[in-house]
Structure 1
Amino acid sequence: MVCCSVETAVVNIGQVTEVNKNSFWPIVRAASDKAIVLDMYTQWCGPCKVMAPKFQELSHKYTDVVFLKLDCNQDNKPLAKELGIRAVPTFKIFKDAKVVKEVTGAKFDDLVLAIEAVRSS
């Protein structure tokens, strides 16, 4: 099932979509009625690698939520800075294009609780 289609990316429900500085905000605005979980990571981060498969599992479990990943590399640094990233992994949950919850670090249980809280609000 497709949630949002933007020139640069199509977001499929039940999977994680990789975004960049150009595709992120158009997708967030297009999916404003859904909760969006953004995984901000880097290629070299050990805890990020541990969380990646768990994040993928969550995308299968919560099919009413949009799951996005942003590599906080040099190209995406302006967006990471705009979103206030200080450490990786950081998970930001958006509703109506605004951050409503944030989990910093590889805290899987905290992430699940944050997703549940946003879904039930």
Structure 2
Amino acid sequence: MAGALENVTDDTFEEVVLKSDKPVLVDFWAAWCGPCRQIAPSLEAIATEHGDQIKVVKLNIDENPTTAAKYGVMSIPTLNVYQNGEVAKTIVGAKPKAAIVRDLEPYLGDEIAKA
């Protein structure tokens, strides 16, 4: 599903994220979070450009507090990369797209990440 950000919930998190056969970038966000809205276009672009290597999904922490609490999400935006059902990397705070892509390079396969 390259190019579209999927929304996950407490109920779908395990199936969509933890059981994925490729790395998954989860954007923990909320509607009232300005920095979350700031990075949303960058995440959309990453999903479009790298969707064949990494899945990008969003989890609204207000609507799905259980998953956010389970993974210790204290501030948003928090971006967690899950690989093989485990948190492989955590990125906290709003960053420019180029910085997010650099952080994701280990999960983007052999392709040189273009920012």
TM-score of the superposition, structure 1-length normalised?
0.82
Higher relative contact order (CA 8 A, sep 6+): 2
Q: Distance in 2 between matches of 1:50 and 1:57?
A: 13
Aligned to 2:15: 26
Matches within 5 A, 1:60-99: 60-63=48-51, 64-73=53-62, 75-99=63-87
Q: Distance in 2 between matches of 1:86 and 1:43?
A: 16
Aligned to 2:40: 52
8 Å CA contact 1:59–1:66 kept in 2: the answer is: yes
Task: Tell me which amino acid in the other structure corresponds to 2:46.
Answer: L
- Which 4+ stretches in 1 moved above 4 angstroms? none
**Structure (1 or 2) with the greater strand fraction:** 1
The total of aligned residue pairs comes to 108
Q: CA RMSD in A?
A: 1.5
Aligned residues: percent identity?
A: 26
TM-score of the superposition, structure 2-length normalised?
0.86
Query: Where in structure 1 are there 5+ consecutive unaligned residues?
Result: 1-11
